[in-house]
Amino acid sequence: MGQGSLRVWRPKDIISDMNMLLEINLNYSQAWHAREFAMRLMKGTPEESFSKLPIYFHNLKKHNPGTVSYIQTDLEDRYEYCFFTIGCAIHDFKWFCRKVIIMDDAHLKGKYKGTILHTIAMDGNNQILLIGYGICPKMTTDSWTWFLEKLHECIGDLEGLALVTDRVASVSTSIQNVFPNA
């Protein structure tokens, strides 16, 4: 209990603490539901977080000149894709980095699964610069094409641009469609 706000309470910890402090016996399910309820009270729901995404992107643009962000929704106005890049990252990439972009994806865990798409570059000192990020439901040719179209709007056509990927067919097809000279 002495760890304060840094402590991560697991259901077994909740059971132990409730028994010790209040002499209440909880089963695992009760402790789990109590923890989930407390987390919703503190952090809100994922749906609330998604609804705040436009405000977050607006504030990014307001406080970081040159920042670009897009949110695409489906026909029922539900979240489908997003893309964002910080303005200084685009500026630094164009002026100070090698014209090599490394692209990859990572799978998201939790209730709302999906894929985060990201691009990075390296500067003259071999320091990594994160260029663009995107989140989509799954890695497909359509999602990579949408993401790369938004990146292309930011960096344009650069002579000698090289794109490094893990050679997944959907990524290769998207690169050929959006960056045919790379």
Bigger pLDDT: 91 vs 47: 91
Q: Is the pLDDT of residue 1 over 60?
A: no
Query: Quick one: tokens of 102?
Result: 């490394």
In this structure, what are the phi and psi dihedrals at residue 13, rounded to the nearest 5 degrees?
A: -70, -40
User: Are 83 and 69 in contact, with CB atoms under 8 Å apart?
Assistant: yes
Output the pLDDT for position 44: 87
- Calculate Rg over the CA atoms of the chain: 22
Which 8-state DSSP code applies to residue 76? T
Confidence band for 92, pLDDT divided at 50, 70 and 90: very high
Q: What three-state secondary structure class fits 166?
A: coil
Residue pair 84/132 in contact by the 8 Å Cβ criterion: yes
C-alpha span between 172 and 165 (Å, rounded): 8
Q: Which DSSP letter does residue 179 get?
A: -
Q: With H, G, I as helix, E, B as strand and everything else as coil, classify residue 103.
A: strand
Question: In which band, very low, low, confident or very high, does the pLDDT at 5 lie, cut at 50, 70 and 90?
Answer: low
Task: Give the pTM.
Answer: 0.79
